[in-house]
A and B are shown apart, each in its own frame.
Chain A
Amino acid sequence: MTTASTTLSARIAEIAGLQNVISDPAHLAAYEIGGKIPSAAVRPESAAHIADIVRFAAAEKLATVPCGARTKLGMGMPPRQYDLALDMTRLDRIVAYDPGDMTLSVEPGIPLRRIENALVEHRQFLPLIVPFMDRATAGGTIASGVDSPLRQFYGTARDYVLGIEFVTGDGTLTKSGGRVVKNVSGYDLHKLMIGALGTLGVLAKINLRTFPLPAATRAFVAAFDAAAGAIALRHAIARSPLRPLVVEILSHGAAELTSTAPSYKPPWSLIASFAGNAEILERCARDLHRMAEQSGAAAVEPIREERLFVASRRTCEFVPAALASSPGAAILKLSVVPANMLEILDAAAKAADAAGLPWAALARGVGVIYLALLPPSRSEEALARVARATNNIFAQCAALDGNATIPWCPSEWKAALPVWGPERGDLGPMRALKKVFDPHGVLAPGRFMGGI
């Protein structure tokens, strides 16, 4: 250990207590991002701790990256500089839960699983079924902006986060929004925190709306020989009066990775799930079967739902499974309006095939597609192939007015790949906001789009 890091640890221990400081290199390695290891990690136990630590970091120009279960630190660019990890896992309490009002207030380090257990007693839940579900924390989920298969019906975090308390880059504890389900007092600054990867503030408390658990759900998987059929069924469902909780289209590879493949392993499948009483579910099943047949489905099978959302609990792990399946996995996130889904899926498949890359695709019915490029190695050659396919796909996505990013890929490839997609026209205001929230540039510097 260097003298500098010893001094740093000692000073942080004065703020947060010795027991909350990690300075031993063996343990610090767990906080690695893109090959960078921080000089210290600290586990704040209160919002005041966070504010004091960030204020200290700002004064000392220490680049600070907040983290929870560290499952999504690979998202975005590696920070330009990385001195201090702010480990939020000791801030893991439910601060308030009002089942009657259906509102919940939590500290950021709480695992989603614990929230789920607390809410299920009251037959409620959060529609956040996200990658690394067994470990993911509330704060990491909000800060990374990952989505849930249930967004088809429930929307994304921006639709049900009611307010956030956060610490800005100068160490100020502040907030926006509130704890009630309807509120227009003041600017919605908390919306900026969602998906900001900790570059604007460190989350200290998150207020969320909770939802009643459906009495029962039923999920089906329809099998198709080509993506066109699955997309046609997606469109038919959208035109129908059905209100599915989930609509997802999976390539054979994605179905295999998430253990949702129908028994006879078709090239494409569509998963749909519905909620309601027996009569409603019967109607949904009937209508779905009819529409699937009209869309040319080879078969429709029920998915055994031994517990609620069982299919989503599998498909939400598509990204982790893809990352584990290939040493050079790159996950592209492509979003287009639904009418363009088939075109971009076809383009993506062609580009990956042309680059000689195995691939798997999971498309949410709302038009958000995760494409995993799965080279067999992490070599320079693999990077060249991934870069070729990505550039091709991104160009076609841009031509369809879509959005494209690379949320995950090997960190040493990031400099060579368009991680944040093409440059946007609104980068100017984003940079200006970064200056307001983090005037000293100490919060995860460089992790966000445009070097923010």
Chain B
Amino acid sequence: MAPATIDPRLLRNLQKLLGRDAVLHKPEDLLLYEYDGSVEVARPNCVVFPRTAEDVVGIVRLAKRHNTPLVGRGAGTGLSGGAIARRGGIVTSFARMNSILEVDAENQRARVQPGVVNSDLSLAVEHLGLHFAPDPSSQKACTIGGNVSENSGGPHTLAYGVTTNHVLALEVVLPSGELVHFGSAALDPAGYDLTGLFVGSEGTFGLVTEITVKLTRLPEATKTLLAIYESVDDATETVVEITARGITPAACEMMDGWTIRAVEDYVHAGFPLDCAAVLLIEVDGLREAAEYEAAEVADVCRLHLAREVRVARDARERDLLWKGRKNAFGAVGRLSPTYYTQDGVIPRTKLPATLRRVSEIGKKYGFSIGNIFHAGDGNLHPIILFDARDKRQFANAVAASDEIIRFCIDLGGSITGEHGVGMEKDRLMPLLFSEVDLDLMRRVRDVFNPEGLLNPAKVLPTAKGCGEIHVRPAAAAAGPASA
């Protein structure tokens, strides 16, 4: 654990800049900021709460003067340790920069501060028939600044795209203390796509102080279907065929029987307890289009031996089904002292084989592995339940998870679909990228963050050619994790 002491001059300067109520430095106050939604832990030396971009500039300049690491933080729901001060230093919480600055309904744009909670923006524009499309499961807590840093996804990204597809412009404080603007509310700004480069850079390029996003029109009609299966293979084959029929559902989520039982016990969404898998599929658009696609999807489900296909009759039933899905991780958390969620991506045609392999890996290490994932885009979230206090279990959980990830890579997939690399998967990056690739990424990071003070030891492996399994400190109890 990093020592929780802070250079008294830096502390005084921060307090002078922001006011005493905007700086936390006592060990008991810092505890909460050791964690995010991942299993990682590290203690910052202090936590600061800027209110304006000028505050952020001041913080960055002080960090630079005192040669102290600096990490941005939204709600701390991230699942890869992105908001954890791995090398100690100053955590900059955007909790007080949470204003929606402008809603421009006519142009379907909004300008927000980074601390705005994802679902708060959608709620604020609902009466205009609009929403902010990226919808991570943690959307009731996670912030748009965090979404930008992680390029967050969510169930509805299958049709609507991930965060990067909805961000038009950014105001950013670079580690030099310079305030810069990337992109524009109008499309196609001239020059290199710095906005595109910045989104998903996991807080290693700069601190975002303002975001211009696209707002998407709410569909006229939405149909939510629950298809219930006796076999996981039938469910996965359904997914492949829906796509083959040229239908892109708004969402296509799968949960296996094991996860369903954990969820049902907690959420009471009405999932059958005796099935092997369910698909939660949503289609939307014009009334006529939603009706047609719902019928097509139901047809495919039955063709692939769904035992039952239920269609949510109203918004209440729909919300209940989604509540089951979005709270699944919380439900699983009740079953075990610790759980570890993977985020591998595979080509979706390889789903059946991958799920079989995940099950074998679970058996080999003696773990229960639940499967809950964005089936439509091949983004898996196997959940390994274990007790982190048991060193052997911990090592086995890491080993099992590595085996799953290696299998994803062998199929041409990726180590992370939406949770980010952070401090959790940096050691896996060499499995996807050569030293040459990583070196270029390092040099691009250095363009923005040359001294490495901003969010150090994230995304890119610190030791060259590393691939070793690192043993994490005692893991956090399961928090309000999301996917």
Distance of A314 Cα from B164 Cα, bound (Å)? 31
B51 within 8 A of A: no
Distance of A424 Cα from B414 Cα, bound (Å)? 35
Distance of A185 Cα from B409 Cα, bound (Å)? 12
| A-facing residues in B265-293 (Cβ within 8 Å) | 285-289, 292
User: Cβ of B448 and Cβ of A241 under 8 Å apart?
Assistant: no
Q: Which 6 A-B pairs have the closest CB atoms?
A: A212-B246, A191-B196, A241-B220, A100-B349, A101-B347, A337-B107
User: Cβ of B415 and Cβ of A242 under 8 Å apart?
Assistant: no
User: Cβ of B288 and Cβ of A184 under 8 Å apart?
Assistant: no
User: Cβ of A436 and Cβ of B443 under 8 Å apart?
Assistant: yes
B374 within 8 A of A: yes
Q: A337-B186, A402-B186 are in contact. Are A100 and B348 (CB under 8 A)?
A: yes
Q: A159-B165, A241-B220 are in contact. Are A432 and B447 (CB under 8 A)?
A: yes
Distance of A99 Cα from B441 Cα, bound (Å)? 31
User: Cβ of B417 and Cβ of A184 under 8 Å apart?
Assistant: yes
Q: A98-B347, A184-B200, A426-B180 are in contact. Are A241 and B217 (CB under 8 A)?
A: yes
Interface residues on B, range: 35 or more
Distance of A207 Cα from B150 Cα, bound (Å)? 22
Chain A to chain B contacts (Cβ below 8 Å), 15 pairs: A100-B348, A100-B349, A123-B246, A172-B440, A182-B378, A185-B421, A186-B438, A187-B197, A191-B196, A212-B243, A276-B289, A279-B288, A280-B288, A420-B190, A436-B444
Distance of A194 Cα from B443 Cα, bound (Å)? 19
User: Cβ of A238 and Cβ of B108 under 8 Å apart?
Assistant: yes
Interface residues on A, range: 35 or more
Q: Mark A163-186, 1 if CB is under 8 A from B, else 0.
A: 000001000111110111111111
Residues on the A chain within 8 Å of B421, using CB = 184-186
Q: A184-B419, A186-B429 are in contact. Are A243 and B246 (CB under 8 A)?
A: no
User: Cβ of A102 and Cβ of B193 under 8 Å apart?
Assistant: no
Residues on the A chain within 8 Å of B288, using CB = 276-277, 279-280, 283
User: Cβ of A187 and Cβ of B190 under 8 Å apart?
Assistant: no
Residues on the A chain within 8 Å of B219, using CB = 241
Number of residue pairs spanning A and B whose beta carbons lie under 8 angstroms apart: 242
Distance of A155 Cα from B196 Cα, bound (Å)? 14
B residues whose Cβ falls under 8 Å from a Cβ of A: 104, 106-109, 129, 150-151, 153, 157, 161-162, 164-165, 180-182, 184-194, 196-197, 199-201, 217, 219-220, 240, 243-248, 285-289, 292, 345-349, 374, 377-379, 412-421, 425, 429, 432-434, 436-438, 440-441, 443-448, 459-460
Q: A182-B153, A429-B180 are in contact. Are A337 and B109 (CB under 8 A)?
A: yes
A427 within 8 A of B: yes
Q: Closest residue of chain A to B108, judged by CB?
A: A238
Distance of A339 Cα from B201 Cα, bound (Å)? 32
User: Cβ of B436 and Cβ of A188 under 8 Å apart?
Assistant: no
A residues whose Cβ falls under 8 Å from a Cβ of B: 98-103, 123, 145, 147, 155-156, 158-159, 168, 172-176, 178-189, 191-192, 194-196, 200, 211-215, 235, 238-239, 241-243, 276-277, 279-280, 283-284, 333, 335-340, 366-368, 401-405, 420-421, 424-430, 432-433, 436-437, 448-450
Distance of A238 Cα from B105 Cα, bound (Å)? 11
